Amino acid sequence: MQNKKKFFTDIIKNTLAYGIYMVALHIFMMPFLSKKLDPEINAQFILYIMISNIITISLGNELGILHQILTGREMGKRTLPDIRYALNVTSIVLSIFMFVTLIILRFSLIASLILSFTAVLTNFRLFIVCYLQLRMDFKAIITGNILFLCGVILSLIFLNYVVLIFWLPIFLAEIFSALFYRYSAGEFFVIKPGKTGEFRKVVKEYFELISSTLLTTIPNYADKIMVLPLLGDVMLNAYYAGSVISNLLFVIINPINGVILAWLSKYNISDAKTIINNHIKVNFIIIVLVFCLNIPAIYLMTRFLYKKYLSIVLTIIIPLALNSTFSIASSLLRMVYLRYLALNRIKFFNLIHLACFVLFSVFGSKYFGVAGFAFGAAFSKFVLWLLYLYSLLKVRKA
């Protein structure tokens, strides 16, 4: 790979940027709200976070990934008007969808309006981060996430000493970062949104990515969503608390994923067999290391941040560790798959993943409670990892 030193430097910079964001969300904001809010209101806010993440990752983040993929095919510049147009349309659709959803979930009118707008800002941020990654502008990403952290901290100080408004931290944080990212990616906004001759092809591939990502992110977040109707708000809070370490581990994994795809796209690395072979070897090492680190990490983080839920988390610590491990392993394999194999096959993997998740988690919760639910979710993640591994092994042997 060209310029290995720069490659690893980019990973470190991107890890720092993503780490700042995750610390703001999972070390400061969510534990603070968990302590201050009633379990029912906190569970409601967690539900919003999960729904927003599912939609914005599938729309904004995947649009940014599509731009990276198109750039790798030397189509990036001429399809920018299409990308800009798609970003505008998804923002409108997202705002309407989130507002209606939050009203149905019995959020207040003001909270529904504010949080719908916040979701649009999140969608914008996720796209711009991918855009800046492709330009290797990690300094801008780091600065934007520092501003996100500042927004969270200022809000928490206000909430602690003045009045408790549960949506203020996420809203102010997204405002701060969005304003900066708008400035940092100014050249993107010079381009007028429109439809080029490649528009239909862009839309087709975008929908392929959206559908496959929805089928990935729904099980990733739906485990927390489904805990609420199946096991109640206390179990949702406990399950979310135990999942914090999984989210924090993506401080390392997501930046690696982003840089891997950006490098494979920008520098057009075509030696697929060598890349796949090395990636699979590293993947097995990562599985062992992550699982061994996960168990003590889950215990310590829960004890430190969510102590009142520790007794429940201890009963599901093994499946939580397995879920996190194979979630990380499959996400790493997916990046190489995205670069070298057909995108439309991913949706079939994710359909199998989703079917396994629904079947085993619902069955497990019915007969074994939260432990059965957690093992069912972990098994579905293992199945997804096997599907990616099998497909890449076939390419390696071809």
> Domain boundaries in the chain?
4-397
Quote the CA–CA distance of 265 and 262 in Å, as a whole number: 5
- Residue 271 is classified by DSSP as -
Query: What pLDDT score does 284 carry?
Result: 87
Encode pLDDT of 148-202 as tens digits: 999 999 999 999 998 889 999 999 999 999 999 998 888 888 888 888 778 888 8
Could you give the angle at the alpha carbon of 387 between the alpha carbons of 346 and 394, nearest 5°?
95
Quote the CA–CA distance of 21 and 8 in Å, as a whole number: 20
Quote the CA–CA distance of 177 and 145 in Å, as a whole number: 6
Note whether 310 and 237 are within 8 A (CB): no
pTM above 0.75, yes or no: yes
Encode pLDDT of 323-368 as tens digits: 889 988 888 888 777 766 666 677 788 888 889 988 998 888 888 8
Query: Tokens representing 206?
Result: 């975008």
Max CA separation in the chain (angstroms)? 64
Residue 209 predicted with pLDDT over 50:
yes
Query: Tokens representing 229?
Result: 């109707």
User: Which has the closest alpha carbon to 12: 258, 184, 176?
Assistant: 258
Which range among 67-76, 135-144, 363-372 shows the weakest confidence by mean pLDDT?
Answer: 67-76
CA atoms within 13 A on the CB side of 322: 17
User: Cα Rg for the chain, rounded, in angstroms?
Assistant: 20
Note whether 344 and 374 are within 8 A (CB): no
- Residue 37 is classified by DSSP as S
Local confidence band at 48 (pLDDT 50, 70, 90 cut-offs):
very high
Quote the CA–CA distance of 132 and 10 in Å, as a whole number: 12
- The one-letter amino acid code at 212 reads S
Query: Tokens representing 383?
Result: 């199945």
Query: What pLDDT score does 92 carry?
Result: 95
Positive or negative CA dihedral for 257, 260, 263, 266?
Answer: negative
Quote the CA–CA distance of 150 and 165 in Å, as a whole number: 17
Positive or negative CA dihedral for 259, 276, 219, 369?
Answer: negative
Higher-confidence position of 316 and 220: 316
